[in-house]
Structure 1
Amino acid sequence: MARYLKDCSVSCKYSWDELQAVCRRQKLVCKHLAVTEDDFSDYVVDYLCNYRKIKSQEFFLVKWKGYSDSENTWEPHKNLKCPKLLQQFRQDMRLALLRDNMPLDSSSLEASAVSFILQRAKQRVKLQRWEEELNRACQHKGCIFVRNDVDLDGPPKDFTYINNYKIGGGVELNEAAVGCECTDCIKAPVNGCCAGASDNCTAYNDNMQVKIRPGMPIYECNSQCQCGIDCRNRVVQRGIQYDLCIFKTANGRGWGVCTLERIPKNSFVMEYLGEVITSEEAERRGQMYDQQGVTYLFDLDYVADVFTVDAAHYGNISHFVNHSCNPNLQVYNVFIDNLDERLPKIAFFATRAIRAGEELTFDYKMTIDEVDAESTKMDTNFSLAGMPDIPINRIRMECKCGVESCRKYLF
C-alpha cells in the first residue's frame, strides 16, 4: 500500500496565518512559515485593515502576524512602529477614497473602501511570500523581487521555479565525455579550448561578454575540464548575476521583468528554462494551449526540430519576460555538459547596455540573418504567451510593445 501512497498529498486544513499562530504559541521556529525566535517575544504587524479618526487622533485596525483575524486590535498611531506599512496603508486608503468619491480627509471608511484596502494588504502578503519562495528556490547570485502596483492579482498558479532543464519523457541527455586542459581558457586556450574541439570560436572576451555574432554556438567549459568555476569561459553556468524584478505591466501585457541594475552590452542575463519535451508532445500540448490562447513553447531547432522547451508550468524568471519588436535581449545556443546539438541551452544576452529599471524583452518572432543558418528560431506560436483567450488563426493579435518600430501584430 505504501508504494501507492508515496506520491499522494492532501491539503492542510489550516491556513497560513493559523499555522503561523500555532508556531508562535508553541514557540516553534519554521523557516518556511517565516517564524523566527524574534516572533516569540514581539508582536509583529502583518498589515493594517481599517482606519478611524477620533478627536484628531488616528487609530488603525491591526492584523498581527501569526494571529487570526478575530484577534485584530485597534491601535493608536503612536503604538505603531511600522513606517513602511503605514505609508502603504495611506496610499491604499487614498486610492480607496478616490474610487468611492469620498473626501480624502474622511474620519472613517466605507465598507467598500475597507474591502479594497484588505485585498491590497493580503495581496502584498501573498506576493511577499512568493518572492521569498522564488529566492529560496533559485540558485543564482541575482535576487528576485516582485511588485504589482496595477491590480489585485496575486502570484500565478501552477508554476514551479527551476534552475535547470526538467527532462520530460522520451528525452535523454548525453553528458560531456572530455574537457579542456587550459590554464587560461580565454588568453591561452589549448587546442582552441572547448570551442575549438567543435571547430568553433571562443565566445567570450576578458570581461565574459559574448563577442561572436548571433546564430553561432557557444561552447563553455564543462565538468570534465581542468579549470574551475572562476574560468572566464563559464558564464551561462554561473546563472543570473543581476537583481531582477517581476512586475505587473500597466498596459495589459500581464507580468513582465525589469532589471534593478545596469546590465552592460553583450552580458549574459538569463537562460530560458522549462520542461524539455519531444516535438510530438509539443504538438499535443500546443493544441491544448491554442485553445487556452497561451503557450510557452520554444523549439530547440539548432540542427533539428526534435525537442521543445515548455515553460508553462516549470521555468525560471524568463517565463515572465515579454515580447518587443525592438528587444534588448538576444538568443544564443549554449553547450556545456550536454553536447547533443539537438538540446542546446537557450541563453539571453544583452543587445545593448540596459538601464536599471528598464524592462527586459526579446522578440518572440526572432530570426537570424540567412548567413547565420545555424540559428535558433522561436516557435511560431510563442508570441501568444501570457495573452488572453483568443481563438488561434482567426484574428491577428495586436502587439503592445509600444516601440517606434513595432510590427503592430505578434503574428
Structure 2
Amino acid sequence: MGSSPSVPGMDLLRCAPSVTLRVFLCAGCHVVCKSSQSHLQYLCRLERVACTDLGISKKNLNHFEVEYLCDYKKKGDQEFYLVKWKGYPESQNTWEPRRNLKCLKILKQFHLDLERELQRRKQRRGLKKLDHSLAHFMLQKAKQRQHLGRWEASLNTTREHKGRIFVRNDVDLEGPPKDFTYINNYKVGEGIVLTEVAVGCECRDCFEEPLEGCCAGASLHRFAYNDKGQVRLKAGQPVYECNTRCRCGPECLNRVVQKGIQYDMSIFKTDNGRGWGVRTMEKIRKNSFVMEYVGEIITSEEAERRGHIYDRQGATYLFDLDYVEDVYTVDAAHHGNISHFVNHSQCTPNLQVYNVFINNIDERLPRIAFFATRMIKAGEELTFDYKMQIDPVDAESTRMDSNFGLAGMTGSPKKRVQMECKCGVESCRKYLF
C-alpha cells in the first residue's frame, strides 16, 4: 500500500477471464465484458469511483497495492523505495518514503535478499544508495520471486495429493524449469497399455479379517503395512494394495501409496551445485510412505535413445521397471511429480524403493514408491540412492534390482558417464559409480 502513482490512460483496458462486468446499454439490454479484478479496481481508482463489489470504498480509494520493490536509497534519516505497483506498468514505478508503505512482508524479504547479496559480494551493509549492478540484481530477484510464486501456485493447483508444495530459491536467479509438466500419475507412452485389474477382495476389514489372504496375500506375503500405514515388508518384496474393485472402503489400511503424498514439501535450490532438491516440511516416521516416482512410461529401447541425450546433459531421470524383466522405463525428465527434484545420495539416502501394485496387474509395470528408511526431521532434504542394492532375502526379492538408470544406463551396468556425488557427508564415496 502507498501513495498514488501517476496512472496511464483508459486505453490500457484488457480482457481477462476472471471478473464479469455487465455494461447496461438500455432497459433489458446488456453486454458482458471480462476483465481482471485488479484492473477493474485500477479503473475505479482512475475514475475516482467507489465500488462495493470490488472492495473499493472512499476510505481506500487512494490505496494502491505494492507488487514488489525495485531499488533503495536513503536521504538523511529517511528511507525511500522504488515501487512497482500492482496493475501498473513499470513506467509508472515511483519512489516512496518508508512511511507510505504498509507491505511488511515485502519489505522484510527485500532487505533479506539485499543482505544476502551484499554478503555474497563482500560489500558493507548500510548503503545509502544501490549501485546499478546491485539495483539490477534486486529487480531480477523480485521478478524471480514472482515467477516462482506463480509456479508454486500452479503446482498446488495441479497436485491431487494432500501434501502442499512450496518453492524457494535463495541461491541464485534461476526460475522455474522451462520444460517440465507436473503430473500425478504415470503418463503412458506410445504403444504401451496398462492392464486394469479385473477382480478385488471381498473383505470388510482387510487388516483384522482378511478373506483368503486379501490383496496383500497375492504373492503369499503378509500384510504390507501396520495400523499406522508404515511398511513392514523387507525391501525387495512386492506390495499389493487393495484396488478399485475391492469391497473395502477408501480408509482401508491396505491403501497407502494410492492416497498420494501426505506431507508438505519444499522444492529448493541447493547451494552446492546439485541443482534443485526437495526437503520435507514435516517430520516423517520411519517406514512411512513419502512419494511415488512418477513420469512417462517408455520402452527400454526408447530409454536407451533418450539416455544418450541425457548423458550430454548430465541428467538422471530414467528409472528401470525391471521387477520381472527389463522392458519398460520411467522417464521423469519432462513429465513428473515432486520426485523429479529429489537428489541422489549414494552414501546416506533416507528413502527406499518398493514395487507396488494396485490397479495394474502387469508385473512389468509396477508403481515405484519411496518409503522412509529412518525418521526424517522437518527441514531435512530427501534423497535416495540411484543404484540401490536389495539384499536377497528370498526368491521373490531377487527379482527386484531397483536400478535408477543414470543417463540412460538401463539393464546391467554399462560404462557411460562417471558423475560426481555431492551428498556432502564425510563418508561420501565421491562418485555415483
TM range (shorter): 0.7 to 0.9
CA distance in 1, matches of 2:287, 2:267: 22
- Residue identity opposite 2:403 in structure 1: M
Structure 1 unaligned residues grouped into runs of 5+: 1-13, 29-35, 385-391
Q: How do 1:77-156 and structure 2 match up within 5 A?
A: 77-98=98-119, 103-156=124-177
My pick for the range that moved more, 392-401 or 254-263, is 392-401
Over 3 Å counting, the alpha-carbon distance change for 1:308 and 1:82 in structure 2 is: same
Instruction: Name the residue aligned to 2:39.
Output: 25
Instruction: Name the residue aligned to 1:363.
Output: 385
Instruction: Name the residue aligned to 1:4.
Output: none
Q: How do 1:332-411 and structure 2 match up within 5 A?
A: 332-371=354-393, 372-381=397-406, 396-411=418-433
Instruction: Name the residue aligned to 2:264.
Output: 243
Instruction: Name the residue aligned to 1:262.
Output: 283
Over 3 Å counting, the alpha-carbon distance change for 1:172 and 1:394 in structure 2 is: closer
SS at match of 1:141: coil
Larger radius of gyration: 2
CA distance in 2, matches of 1:276, 1:376: 18
Contact 1:331–1:376 (8 Å) recurs in 2: no
Structure 2 unaligned residues grouped into runs of 5+: 1-11, 19-34, 43-52
Contact 2:118–2:124 (8 Å) recurs in 1: yes
CA distance in 2, matches of 1:39, 1:274: 46
What do residues 64-101 of structure 1 show as CA deviations (whole Å, max 9, x unaligned)? 12221011121111111111111111123334445666
State how many pairs are aligned: 382
Deviation (angstroms), 1:294: 1.5
CA distance in 2, matches of 1:380, 1:92: 38
Instruction: Name the residue aligned to 2:299.
Output: 278
Deviation (angstroms), 1:107: 1.9
CA distance in 2, matches of 1:208, 1:179: 20
What do residues 179-219 of structure 1 show as CA deviations (whole Å, max 9, x unaligned)? 01111111211111112234332100111110000000000
Contact 1:123–1:154 (8 Å) recurs in 2: yes
What do residues 42-68 of structure 1 show as CA deviations (whole Å, max 9, x unaligned)? 522111011122231111111112221
CA distance in 1, matches of 2:122, 2:350: 42
Contact 2:240–2:356 (8 Å) recurs in 1: yes
- Please give the root-mean-square deviation of Cα atoms over the aligned residues, in Å: 2.6
Deviation (angstroms), 1:395: 6.2
Deviation (angstroms), 1:277: 0.6
What do residues 265-323 of structure 1 show as CA deviations (whole Å, max 9, x unaligned)? 10000000000011111111112222322230000000011110000000000000001
Relative to the length of structure 1, the TM-score reads: 0.87
Instruction: Name the residue aligned to 1:202.
Output: 223
Say if 2:308 is the partner of 1:294: no
CA distance in 1, matches of 2:182, 2:417: 33
- Residue identity opposite 2:400 in structure 1: S
CA distance in 2, matches of 1:401, 1:78: 46
Pick the aligned partner of 2:241 from 220, 226, 233: 220
Pick the aligned partner of 1:193 from 214, 228, 247: 214
Over 3 Å counting, the alpha-carbon distance change for 1:39 and 1:47 in structure 2 is: farther
Instruction: Name the residue aligned to 1:3.
Output: none
